Amino acid sequence: MTRSLQTPALGGHELPSYLEDGHSLRSWLLSTDHKRIALLYFGSITLFFFVGGAAATLMRLELISPSGRFFSNDGYNRLFTLHGVVMVWFFLVPSIPTTFGNFLLPLMIGAKDMAFPRLNLFSWYLNTVGGLLVIACLVLGGVDTGWTFYTPFSSLFANGYVILAAMAVFVAGFSTIATGINFIVTIHTLRAPGMRWMRLPLFVWTQYATALVIVLATPVLAITLLLLMAERLFGLPIFDPAQGGDPVLFQHLFWFYSHPAVYIMILPAFGVISELVACFSRRRVFGYTAMIYAILGIAVIGFFVWGHHMFVAGMSPLAALVFSFLSFVVAVPSAIKVFNWTFTLYRGQIYFEAPMIYALGFIGLFTTGGLSGLFTASLPVDVHVTDSYFVVAHFHYIMVGGAVSAFFGALHFWWPKITGRMAPDGWARFAAILMYFGFNFTFFPQFLMGYLGMNRRYHQYAPEFQIYHVASSTGAAVLAAAYALPMFYLGWSLIWGRRAEANPWGATGLEWQTSSPPPRENFLKTPQVREQAYDYHPETEAPLHEAPEGRRPHNPQGAGA
Amino acid sequence: MSGQALHEPFEDLERQRLAAAFGMWIFLATEILFFGSAFLAFSVYRQLHPEGMLAAARETNIVLGSVNTAILLASSVTMAVADKAAEQMRKRETILCLALTAAFGLGFLVVKLFEYREDIAERLVPGPHFALTEPGAQLFFGFYWVMTGIHAIHLTIGIVIVLITIWRIRRGSLAYGRSGFLPSLGLYWHLVDVVWIFLFPLLYLGGRA
């Protein structure tokens, strides 16, 4: 190992780390340090991931038999609603931005903290309040509307705790809005000297685009849920067809948020994968500028495709045509990103360490999910597969195969920076590979049975689908094991893991130029950024190969004055 | 004597003020989408049921609505003057104008409560005893109650923050002239005002031409 990997260029090892800066409960719960808030979020998100995962496990258990053995119809409805609400709003939407975004954004741009540290803490408390409401809803008996709360069922007929669930989502929505505002202002006002826009790591760009989508889409969901609550609570007819109201209007407003929300979930994952692929293939990201335009393109076009969720709900042929066309268009920047990651690998020196295996798995799963998205964007095919398991498989490939794989990749990549310990790489690689197989095992059969006509949201089904359901449930057991494994070996590494150097992967970003874990102030000296991101080799030359047993030191993006 | 103006993580005051104003503008953008979606839904129904919506609009109390519009416009003037006074570090005038702003806000709420009482007496709450029979009329009043209610909540939050601000300036714990807090508060107050400027013609002027 060369010296430059061990001694951080921007100092930090002389100071106590952020983890040692106070040990009381108060020093955590009232902390305005973005790194501690990230860990608070990490705690709540992990909890909800396992709550939502438990619901999914019960569903897969129920679906082994075609006759519906363990749950009543109503019980099954409540189960998949809980799974959807928890996973969408309490895991996927906040997952990468509030944990890794919070932790890394100031580090990557060379700032001391977020622009509004107290707002940052406040957003965690809002998220917690929303989480408590959802738990209360679960304990009292749950909701049976599906995570989409479609009217007039949710407003007039459903007999679950709709208001409690809607309130939980409403509050959590404001938490993400606060985070979004914080990210945008931080990136605009707190970049270190020399950190120009076209030098920002792609992870920062994706956080920026995500924050834009959050602040422009979430308020629409907020008012829609408020109108729903007003109808249910006070009997004000807003979407009631008996009074001339239009239930399809609810769907338009709901999907105006919820389609962009898909990009809130996947854009941060794109950022993570760009960091991982560049670092573990020792290459500049191919087409850095094109990547930025693709990120922004997805964020903008993503606002104009919501109608494809409603092709069978009734819309004019012209509107359907336009929404179908735009849904194909939004696939173009996504494809550009996949091609650019692949070209980044070309002639790179690829390290198959755990984070890279997660990243490669992401590329495969995301591509499968994206291509199946083209099927559902196409009008005639979509009419055939609407509300079938084909759609379920499609969006799970994007959100679970994509976003969750990226979450675990990020967790393993930045684990040394966050905790100061190395994770055991053998176990981590095993978990990554298991996750890839378990995932395909679970969800690929769902493409097949969906295309053959298996509808979603039923727990009793025709016996010929049983073979697919049993395969899917077996895969789910493998997947559950793969998700539980990291808890054990990462927990183990906290105590017995090897101590991490400042820059164990030999990456170029600013976050690796301070000690692991970083001090409260992040950097000892103000960073001066002199290089573009991903300076793994001179721009006009092919990358040199380094000896595989020791990483060559790379030009860091910036150093102290 | 006033509190510390510069906060972590900023190193100069100019940039901190910029960040505060920028953050508030983004928040206002979210508010515009929030209210905008409700305006959109309202407009869709206005298109679907023009007769019933206009007949219902004629039942609103235009006198109280107009008085409230005037009160709210006046409150925006005093808020703007408070901001200017703070810029010149004139503590007494700042507090006076803020107090007037809060008083106007409270006045709006009081008038609105009287109006609500009248609406309830005239059976304008949607439900089985609703006064009008035209299709769409109940929809109009569904939006009337929701939107004026949300607006009133926004105004209440504004009044509470203005009162806390007065208290903090008097106590000397707010660097009111330099920290960028008052301009941001002003932006919020004006937005609540502007929302009413849109609500007033939508709810009160329709069907009266």
Q: Is B10 a residue whose pLDDT tops 90? A: no
Residue found by looking up tokens 């978990």 in the block: A431
Q: What is the Cα–Cα distance from A358 to A275, expressed in whole angstroms?
A: 12
The ipTM, to two decimals, is 0.94
CB contact under 8 A, B30 and A219: yes
Q: What is the Cα–Cα distance from A273 to A349, expressed in whole angstroms?
A: 16
CB contact under 8 A, B126 and A235: yes
Q: Which of residues 207-226 of A touch B (CB under 8 A)?
A: 215-220, 222-224, 226
Q: Counting beta carbons within 10 angstroms of the beta carbon of residue A379, is it exposed (0 to 12), middle (13 to 18) or buried (19 or more)?
A: middle
Q: Is A320 a residue whose pLDDT tops 90? A: yes
In this prediction, residue A4 carries a pLDDT of 44
pLDDT tens track for A516-548:
899 999 998 889 999 899 998 888 877 777 776
From A181's Cα to the closest Cα of chain B, the distance in A is 6
Q: Which two tokens stand for residue A143?
A: 């909701």
Residue found by looking up tokens 């903008």 in the block: A300
pLDDT tens track for A415-429:
999 999 999 999 999
Q: Which of A116, A189, A253 sits opposite B41 (nearest CB)?
A: A253
Instruction: Please give the helix or strand (H or E) that residue A507 lies within, else none.
Output: none
Helices (H) and strands (E) in chain B, counts: 6, 0
Q: Taking all residues of chain A, what is their mean pLDDT, rounded to a whole number? A: 93
Q: Which of residues 165-184 of A touch B (CB under 8 A)?
A: 177, 180-182, 184
The mean pLDDT value for B117-133 works out to: 92
Q: What is the Cα–Cα distance from B28 to B42, expressed in whole angstroms?
A: 21
Q: Which two tokens stand for residue A196?
A: 């120009």
Helices (H) and strands (E) in chain A, counts: 19, 2
Q: Report CA-CA distances (Å) from A452 to A388, A449, A464, A468.
A: 9, 5, 10, 11
Q: Which two tokens stand for residue A528?
A: 């001066």
In this prediction, residue A549 carries a pLDDT of 66
CB contact under 8 A, B126 and A189: no
The mean pLDDT value for A145-161 works out to: 90
Q: Which two tokens stand for residue A105?
A: 């954004």
Q: Which of B30, B37, B142 sits opposite A224 (nearest CB)?
A: B37
CB contact under 8 A, B9 and A111: yes
CB contact under 8 A, A116 and B34: no
The mean pLDDT value for A262-286 works out to: 95
CB proximity list for A435: less than 8 A, separation 6 or greater:
A358, A361, A405, A408, A479, A482, A483
Kindly list the domain boundaries of chain B, sorted by start residue: 50-205
The mean pLDDT value for A20-38 works out to: 92
Check: CB of residue A35 under 8 Å from CB of residue A523. no
Closest listed residue to residue A42, CA positions, set A124, A112, A122: A124
Check: CB of residue A286 under 8 Å from CB of residue A340. yes
CB atoms within 10 A of CB B99: 15
In this prediction, residue B6 carries a pLDDT of 81
Pick from B18, B33, B147 the residue to mutate for testing the A interface (most A CBs within 10 Å).
B33
pLDDT confidence tier of residue B178, bands split at 50, 70 and 90: confident
Residue found by looking up tokens 């515009």 in the block: B32
From B73's Cα to the closest Cα of chain A, the distance in A is 25
The mean pLDDT value for B116-140 works out to: 92
Q: Which two tokens stand for residue A274?
A: 């760009």
pLDDT confidence tier of residue B78, bands split at 50, 70 and 90: very high
CB contact under 8 A, A234 and B15: no
In this prediction, residue B85 carries a pLDDT of 94
pLDDT confidence tier of residue A195, bands split at 50, 70 and 90: very high
Q: Is B1 a residue whose pLDDT tops 60? A: no
Q: Report CA-CA distances (Å) from A336 to A269, A270, A276, A407, B75.
A: 15, 12, 17, 21, 52
Q: What is the Cα–Cα distance from A124 to A135, expressed in whole angstroms?
A: 16
Architecture of domain B50-205: Up-down Bundle (1.20)
CB proximity list for A237: less than 8 A, separation 6 or greater:
A231, A243, A245, B126, B138, B139, B142
Length reported for chain A: 561
B134: helix, strand or coil: coil
Q: Is B7 a residue whose pLDDT tops 60? A: yes
Closest listed residue to residue A185, CA positions, set B9, B188, B34, B186: B9
- Looking at the complex, does the CB of residue A248 fall below 8 Å from at least one CB of chain B? no
Check: CB of residue A131 under 8 Å from CB of residue A60. no
Q: Which phi and psi angles does B93 have, rounded to 5°?
A: -65, -40
Q: What is the Cα–Cα distance from A110 to A201, expressed in whole angstroms?
A: 12
Q: Is A211 a residue whose pLDDT tops 80? A: yes
Q: Is A150 a residue whose pLDDT tops 70? A: yes
The mean pLDDT value for A15-36 works out to: 91
CB proximity list for A330: less than 8 A, separation 6 or greater:
A298, A301, A302, A305
pLDDT confidence tier of residue B197, bands split at 50, 70 and 90: very high
Q: Which two tokens stand for residue A190?
A: 């707190």
Check: CB of residue A220 under 8 Å from CB of residue B37. yes
- Looking at the complex, does the CB of residue A115 fall below 8 Å from at least one CB of chain B? yes
Q: Which of B27, B52, B127 sits opposite A235 (nearest CB)?
A: B127
DSSP string of A11-24, one letter each residue: --TTSPBTTTS--S
Q: What percent of chain A has pLDDT over 70?
A: 98
Report the greatest alpha carbon distance in chain B. Answer: 63
Pick the more confident residue, A104 or A14.
A104
CB atoms within 10 A of CB A278: 27
Q: What is the Cα–Cα distance from A222 to A213, expressed in whole angstroms?
A: 14
What is chain A's percent helix, strand, coil content, to nearest 5? 70, 0, 30
A310: helix, strand or coil: coil
CB contact under 8 A, B34 and A224: no
In this prediction, residue A493 carries a pLDDT of 96
In this prediction, residue A6 carries a pLDDT of 57
pLDDT confidence tier of residue A3, bands split at 50, 70 and 90: very low
Check: CB of residue A351 under 8 Å from CB of residue A429. no
C-beta contacts of A134-138 below 8 A and 24+ residues apart: A134/A85, A134/A86, A134/A90, A134/A164, A134/A165, A134/A168, A135/A51, A136/A161, A136/A164, A137/A161, A137/A164, A137/A165, A137/A168, A138/A51, A138/A82
pLDDT tens track for A423-459:
999 999 999 999 999 999 999 999 999 999 999 999 9
